[in-house]
């Protein structure tokens, strides 16, 4: 990394985004994160400072001081997504939703050449699409040419189907495309056959780990001296201990239920009398409380047994409770979840188990982040942007991809209409239209 390749990480969490950029030779100058455990985890592994800050209230000028007044090559970050997530109740008025605009305000102050913004797919329809449209519009007004796309990170080689909204922008006027998809994928729920090789399966991702121990704090030796596949080899890189932490089996709450589950099955596939009480309450509430469908979040599934020969479902903070190992009658271990998120085995974690799995579930997978970092380097360098500012076109919405499905929900159609107006050079203000 040269002096002009300054990277700033916002809403840094445990450092997944930053770890991927570091592997590409773009280690962030610093991270900024409110959670103390995640901030310490970041510093231990990324090797640059993490400032424990509330980015909803911080003065962007404070972050500018951390850069020494230099303009970054790129600002990266994914503001917390709970207000948008389909995994729980969705509330367009959730104050956490404002964090996406705090990210925008910091980018405006730091004025990087590029930014990468990551969030959950629920952002696409939040507030009838107005939240996303406003965010895009503000970035364009700030002078950025922006491209927006919903991406399944399995297509970049992550061993799980993980749908995320990515927005990439530059203030050089460069028209660009997202990284090429390299893999097909199939988790049993989300799938895409593109004629490309399959992303690593769940079984491939956790292969090479020794049998899970039953005692916390135990160092677990690898199953073999040599890696058993390419993914295992990547995960072992730099792990001089030859063993892993957090590979501890937890006895499931309902062993009978777990033993009856076949790969791909969830709680609803079991007899009603075997449903967990918490699952019964959630399942009943979805049909009895009158909450609009679009605000309920995803259907409750409770425990679910994964397919070993497919990619995993999306790793979340609940994965170590609800995701059942493909062949063993236990939930995934924290280490297995970390591998599915592509965190290397040498990664050290700060906090109790609940904190660690939340850090893992919230992270951008380092492997996907590395793919984005290398692509950004290629685009920037191929246009000569390392040596001169370009003016290849006025700031604009370059394009967007909201779904690859043939159909589109009414909510997503509303978002599409708002973005289409911007893409065609018409910016929308509260129902009034101006031509750019």
Q: What is the pLDDT along the chain (436 residues), one digit of tens a residue?
A: 455 689 999 999 999 999 999 999 999 999 999 999 999 999 999 999 999 999 999 999 999 999 999 999 999 999 985 544 444 444 445 444 689 999 999 999 999 999 999 999 999 998 899 999 999 999 999 999 999 999 999 999 999 999 999 999 999 999 999 999 999 999 999 999 999 999 999 999 999 999 999 998 899 999 999 999 999 999 999 999 999 999 999 988 778 889 999 999 998 888 888 887 777 777 665 544 445 544 544 555 689 999 999 999 999 999 999 999 999 999 999 999 999 999 999 999 999 999 999 999 999 999 999 999 999 999 998 776 554 444 567 899 999 999 988 889 999 999 999 999 888 775 544 444 444 4
State how far the Cα of 156 lies from the Cα of 158, in Å rounded to an integer: 6
State how far the Cα of 70 lies from the Cα of 214, in Å rounded to an integer: 50
Half-sphere exposure of 155 (CA within 13 A, CB side): 16
Residues of the chain with CATH 3.40.50.150: 7-194+366-435
Cβ atoms 34, 8 nearer than 8 A: no
Select from 150, 81, 149 the least CA-distant residue to 119: 81
State how far the Cα of 148 lies from the Cα of 139, in Å rounded to an integer: 12
State how far the Cα of 54 lies from the Cα of 44, in Å rounded to an integer: 20
pLDDT of 40: 98
- Backbone conformation region of residue 194, classed left if phi is above 0, alpha if psi is from -120 to 50, else beta: alpha
pLDDT of 300: 55
pLDDT of 302: 80
Fold observed for domain 7-194+366-435:
Rossmann fold (3.40.50)
State how far the Cα of 16 lies from the Cα of 160, in Å rounded to an integer: 15
Count, residues in the chain: 436
pLDDT of 427: 55
What pTM did the predictor assign? 0.90
Select from 152, 150, 155 the least CA-distant residue to 198: 155
End-to-end Cα separation, the chain, in angstroms: 37
pLDDT of 290: 46
3 state SS of 141: helix
pLDDT of 275: 81
Q: Which residues of 69-98 are buried (b: 16+ CB within 10 A; e: fewer)?
A: eeebbbbbbbbbbbbbbbbeebeeebeebe
pLDDT of 284: 63
State how far the Cα of 362 lies from the Cα of 214, in Å rounded to an integer: 26
Q: Which CATH superfamily is domain 202-362 in?
A: DNA Methylase, subunit A, domain 2 (3.90.120.10)
Catalytic residue flag (residue 81): yes
Residues of the chain with CATH 3.90.120.10: 202-362
pLDDT of 4: 65
Select from 414, 385, 400, 340 the least CA-distant residue to 2: 385
State how far the Cα of 283 lies from the Cα of 74, in Å rounded to an integer: 44
pLDDT of 273: 81
State how far the Cα of 367 lies from the Cα of 153, in Å rounded to an integer: 9
The conformation of residue 108, written as its DSSP 8-state character, comes to H
């Amino acid at each position: 990394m040269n002096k002009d390749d300054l990277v700033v990480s916002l809403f840094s969490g445990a450092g997944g985004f930053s770890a991927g950029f570091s592997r590409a030779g773009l280690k962030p100058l610093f991270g900024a994160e409110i959670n103390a455990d995640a901030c310490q985890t970041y510093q231990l592994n990324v090797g640059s400072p993490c400032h424990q800050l509330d980015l909803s209230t911080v003065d962007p000028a404070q972050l500018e001081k951390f850069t020494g007044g230099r303009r970054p090559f790129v600002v990266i970050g994914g503001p917390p997504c709970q207000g948008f997530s389909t995994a729980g109740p969705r509330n367009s008025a959730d104050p956490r939703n404002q964090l996406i605009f705090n990210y925008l305000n910091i980018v405006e102050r730091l004025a990087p050449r590029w930014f990468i913004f990551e969030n959950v797919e629920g952002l696409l329809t939040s507030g009838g699409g107005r939240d996303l449209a406003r965010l895009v519009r503000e970035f364009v007004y700030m002078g950025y040419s922006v491209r927006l796309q919903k991406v399944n990170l399995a297509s970049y080689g992550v061993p799980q189907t993980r749908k995320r909204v990515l927005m990439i922008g530059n203030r050089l006027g460069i028209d660009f495309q997202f990284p090429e998809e390299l893999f097909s994928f199939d988790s049993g729920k989300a799938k895409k056959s593109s004629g490309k090789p399959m992303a690593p399966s769940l079984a491939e991702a956790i292969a090479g780990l020794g049998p899970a121990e039953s005692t916390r704090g135990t160092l677990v030796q690898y199953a073999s001296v040599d890696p058993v596949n390419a993914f295992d080899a990547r995960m072992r890189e730099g792990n001089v201990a030859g063993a892993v932490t957090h590979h501890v089996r937890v006895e499931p709450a309902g062993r009978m239920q777990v033993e009856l589950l076949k790969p791909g099955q969830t709680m609803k596939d079991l007899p009603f009398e075997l449903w967990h009480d918490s699952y019964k309450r959630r399942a009943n509430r979805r049909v009895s409380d009158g909450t609009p469908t679009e605000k309920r979040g995803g259907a409750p599934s409770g425990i679910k047994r994964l397919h070993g020969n497919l990619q995993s479902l999306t790793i979340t903070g609940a994965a170590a409770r609800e995701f059942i190992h493909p062949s063993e009658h236990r939930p995934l271990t924290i280490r297995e979840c970390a591998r599915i998120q592509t965190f290397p085995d040498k990664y050290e974690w700060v906090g109790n188990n609940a904190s660690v799995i939340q850090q893992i579930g919230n992270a951008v997978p380092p492997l996907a982040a590395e793919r984005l970092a290398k692509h950004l380097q290629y685009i920037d360098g191929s246009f000569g942007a390392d040596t001169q500012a370009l003016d290849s076109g006025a700031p604009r919405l370059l394009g967007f991809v909201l779904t690859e499905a043939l159909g589109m929900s009414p909510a997503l159609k509303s978002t599409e209409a708002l973005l289409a107006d911007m893409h065609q050079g018409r910016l929308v203000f509260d129902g009034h239209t101006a031509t750019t």
